[in-house]
Amino acid sequence: MRCLLVLSLVLYTYALYPQRNEIRQYDSLDGLWTFVREQSNSNGTGLVNQWYLSDLSTFPNATQIPVPSAYNDLVEQREWRDHVGWVWYQLKYTPAQRDQGLRTFLRFESVNYFAMVFLNDKNVGNHTGGHLPFEFEVNFDYTKINFITVAVNNTLSNSTIPPGEFQYKTEVYTINGQSYSVYPDGFFEQTPDFDFFNYAGILRSAFVLKLGSVFISDVWIVAQANGSLLYTITLDKSTTGLTANVTVSSLQPTTGTIVYSGTGLQNSAVVQNIELWYPRGYGYPSLYVMEVKLLNGTQVIDIYRETFGFRTVTWDSDKIYINGKPFYCHGFDAHEDFELHGRGYNPVVMIKDLNTMEWMNGNCYRTSHYPYSQERAYEADRRGIAVITETPAVGMKLFDNTNLALHKYMLTEMIQRDKNHPSVIAWSLSNEPQTYKPESKAYYQ
């Protein structure tokens, strides 16, 4: 398991949230997937026997479970809830003939903790860590039903983020002079180094993205309270002869008013008479939308629209300022957990949580102790709720180079995803790390 985690630290992610528009399309993979659970602590039985080559629905222990959702609370058995090790998801997907010629990607918003993704007989990629999106380019077979298979392992160790502890069980008893082992070889119990439940599985939505031969892979926007606007458009591959038309329009209260127009993949300007984004109680959370049209000559080959806000966050020794105003966080720590689906994304629960927060006069929260869904970040933008976004690094106690590489990788994924959200006012590197250890100083510096 630890070998796989180290080898998978390649950033297979694009920052942009899936979007349907005049050019872009996607299929949602949310719904019921076939689910097979290996025995806890198994030595990778499914990988050894190449389960991804099989129709998992024919297995005697196969069932159906919803995506997105944690699997832990969907049955009554303790061994299911407390399962440690491999579980397998599979979905039969028939691609549309009209999509031939498009580039296609499998995207997952969150799989906890380690995921191996297969399309038919091919391992298309692996990903380490829950709570952040990843995607892989794939080639579907348009002549048949395709099998999308995801093997998920929730095992935690000193080399995972967050970490966990192993306790190997070796109890032996004797009957009539014959020794019997209570546990199979290699059996262990796991204790996470944090005080909340380690919900596992495909926790957020999954998609098939359908894009052109060249597409917009990132939009980076820096918009300050003085009207300063800087943006960089990144394409998925280097291509000459392409340019972009960029417009910025106000979303409220003067819907549709264009405040900026420009060309090129990178530019800067000072926008006049802007309305600033403020948290609740300090002003209105004014939002703008940047529309990027990628052009090959006069032909529009991709479009992406990203919302953002003009705001500046500064601080001194005892205060945080948003747009020059001292900001006091009336806030919360929370979890995305809910009965039945665990930490699986549920828009009903998300909206209820945010409505309750506003009812309690809240204006701020920390995503303890992992990044929340991107849908929630967009809602925080709209509502004017300030957010401290936190990496999954809770309970860190081993500060070596392996963990440092993984920690940086997760931090990069998190910032890539959430960098344009005006609601995000700070990044939290860890929660309750053992910083009394001397080696932690160099680690965090």
Q: Which residues contact 390 (CB under 8 A, 6 or more apart)?
A: 366, 367, 368, 369, 370, 371, 427, 428, 429, 430, 431
Distance set, CA 264 to CA 295, 309, 397 (Å): 10, 21, 46
Q: Residue count of the chain, please give it.
A: 445
375 tagged catalytic: no
**b/e map of 212-249 (b: 16 or more CB within 10 Å)?**
bebbbbbbebebbbebebebebebbeeeeebebebebb
The tokens for 190 are 């796991």
Distance set, CA 123 to CA 116, 148, 216, 233 (Å): 7, 10, 26, 30
CA 339 from centre of chain: 21
The tokens for 415 are 């910032």
User: What are phi and psi for residue 375, nearest 5 degrees?
Assistant: -60, -35
Q: How open is the CA angle 228-231-236, to the nearest 5 degrees?
A: 175
- Name the catalytic one among 165, 189, 291, 432: 432
DSSP secondary structure letter of residue 88: E
Q: Are 109 and 374 in contact (CB under 8 A)?
A: yes
- Active-site residue numbers? 432
